[in-house]
Amino acid sequence: MSSQKKPIDLPAVSHTVFFWLKNSDSKEDRDALIAGLKTLIQIAAVRSIRIGLPAATAKRDVVDDGFDVSELLFFDDIAGQNAYQVDAIHKRFVKDCEHLWRKVVVYDSVAV
């Protein structure tokens, strides 16, 4: 029996977003952002979504845990990610929630 683990078969494109809230101490603002993010699963091109908070992992120089909320979305391809960007649900999320954040950082990647 092989000791190697089989890779998880995930969609090819990942869209990782980190949000810094204007009011980091507000549970209401955090919860409002999370509720808004949860609406994004309704977009046809979105294959999977994971919403997270900073983990209480060991502090190391390479770890940036200064964000308040993160999201990880998966798409089958770049066309799906592009469709997501212009989808009415995504546009409504931005309109309804952009007042909550002071900074957003996005990392898009494609599987190799």
> Considering only CA atoms, which of 73, 69, 72 is closest in space to residue 34?
69
Q: Mind listing the pLDDT tens digit for each residue in 59-92?
A: 898 888 899 999 999 999 999 999 999 999 999 9
Say what the pLDDT of residue 7 is.
Answer: 65
pLDDT tens, position by position, 2-55:
567 766 777 899 999 999 999 999 999 999 999 999 999 999 999 999 999 998
Residue 37 has a pLDDT of 98
- DSSP summary character for residue 45: T
Q: What is the pLDDT of residue 48?
A: 95
**pTM for this model (two decimals):** 0.89
Rounded distance, CA 106 to CA 98, Å? Answer: 15
CA distance linking residue 104 with residue 107, whole number of Å:
10
* pLDDT score, position 19: 98
DSSP for 10-22, please give it. Answer: --SEEEEEEEEET
Cα(20)–Cα(65) distance, rounded to whole angstroms?
10
